[in-house]
Homo-oligomer: A and B are copies of this chain.
Amino acid sequence: MAQPKKAASIWDVARLAGVSHQTVSRVVNGSPRVAAATRDKVLEAIAELGYRPNRLARSLAGGAVESVTVLTADTSLYGPEAALRGIEKAARSLEWSVSISVLDPADTHSDADIIARLPRAGEPTIIMAHDEPGMRAKQVLLDTQPHAMVAIGPYTADELAASPWLVGMDDGKAAAEATRYLLELGHETVHHLAIPTSTGTFGGGKAHRADGWARVLREAGREVPEPVPSGWTITEAFKAVRPLVSDPAVTAILCGNDHLALATLRAAHLAGRSVPGDLSIVGFDNTPFSAFTTPALTTVNQDFESVGRGAFELLRHRVDSSTPRPRPSWPEPELIVRETSGPPRP
């Protein structure tokens, strides 16, 4: 039984059930035009042989597409990881399969290189376009197969509405909210430890975290300090933020994500600055660990999993327009105040 016995095909089932292969196909695909008695016979044969349709053959033959490829640059980041989970869940429930291909942030991928990652031309694809490699992949697919791609990234409601292949949340708005909160607490200004941007420059998109932060400061007539750029890793963040935390004039830092915030917390501790007494820290994403640091991180909750699901549904609609066009339906980002934020010392 454990030997590599060849799997049953549609023909085997047809023979056993005494019908044509096409009838088996009809039963498998739930066509209504099959007599109940025939259907039962076929079903029985299927069960007996343990027949399972071969997905590859199915899509080769021009049947419905049943796979998505996810392009992302970093699976260890909480956002993409959670979005991937959302995509996988949604896909699973429809029996689609999910492939994943990781873009290396170190190489500059050529267009051909990106296209070569897709198992075939026209493969439905979701791109995590929150960073440079992602943005590049987005552009390539937009040029080659715009009808079979969806990109996830930080965009304003207007941008989202304008581009039917875009899914995401308005990080800028959320960052603005967080910044406003810190200002209301009485901080003179708020500094920013920034994640790498997708465009390579700050303020590249209105929905970027750094942009929302800067906007609020400007509107409030405050000084807008130079944002401190950090890489994605905690180690990079730690190095980048050290000068900032040791400056006593800095009383509040908005961090691009919770990992950066953790590094900031650590750096503040080592610099002998108490949090939130001397320094308020606000993170981003509400990563699971953020509630359990000491002190617990004030952060911005983001429902990436729902965004991932939304991306999948949108993609499905784009690939097969007979499915409903989903409306964005995830919660807005929301500030969660915990222990790392408070009023500045007078």
Residues of chain A at the chain B interface (Cβ within 8 Å): 1-2, 4, 7, 52, 54-57, 59-60, 67, 69, 75-76, 81-82, 84-85, 88-89, 92, 95, 97-102, 115-117, 119-122, 143, 145-147, 233-235, 238, 259, 262-263, 265-266, 269, 288-289, 291-294, 296
Contact = CB atoms under 8 A, between A and B. Distances in A.
A61 to B, nearest CB: 9
B115 A88 contact: no
Nearest to A91: B101
Contacts of A293: 262, 266, 293-294
B116 A238 contact: no
Contacts of A56: 56, 59-60, 119-120
Nearest to A296: B266
Contacts of A52: 115-116, 120-121
Given A56-B59, A119-B97, A4 B292 contact: no
Contacts of A89: 102
Contacts of A97: 69, 99, 101, 117, 119
A119 B54 CA distance: 7
A68 to B, nearest CB: 10
A59 B1 CA distance: 24
Given A121-B54, A292-B234, A88 B60 contact: no
Given A76-B81, A76-B288, A238-B292, A120 B54 contact: yes
B55 A120 contact: yes
A60 B56 CA distance: 7
Contact of A75 (B81, B101, B146, B292): B81
Given A60-B57, A233-B288, A98 B95 contact: no
B85 A121 contact: no
A99 B68 CA distance: 9
13 contacts: A4-B122, A4-B145, A4-B147, A7-B120, A52-B116, A54-B121, A55-B119, A57-B60, A69-B97, A75-B85, A97-B99, A97-B101, A234-B288
A15 B101 CA distance: 33
A266 B288 contact: no
A140 to B, nearest CB: 12
Contact of A263 (B99, B146, B292): B292
B101 A88 contact: yes
A121 B119 CA distance: 19
A252 to B, nearest CB: 19
A102 to B, nearest CB: 5
Given A81-B81, A98-B101, A119-B97, A292 B57 contact: no
Contacts of A60: 54, 56-57, 60
Contacts of A4: 122, 145, 147
Contact of A2 (B67, B143, B296): B143
Contacts of A265: 292, 294
Given A55-B120, A75-B75, A97-B119, 15 more contacts: A7-B122, A76-B81, A76-B85, A76-B288, A81-B81, A84-B100, A85-B102, A92-B102, A97-B117, A259-B289, A262-B292, A265-B294, A266-B296, A289-B289, A293-B294
A28 to B, nearest CB: 13
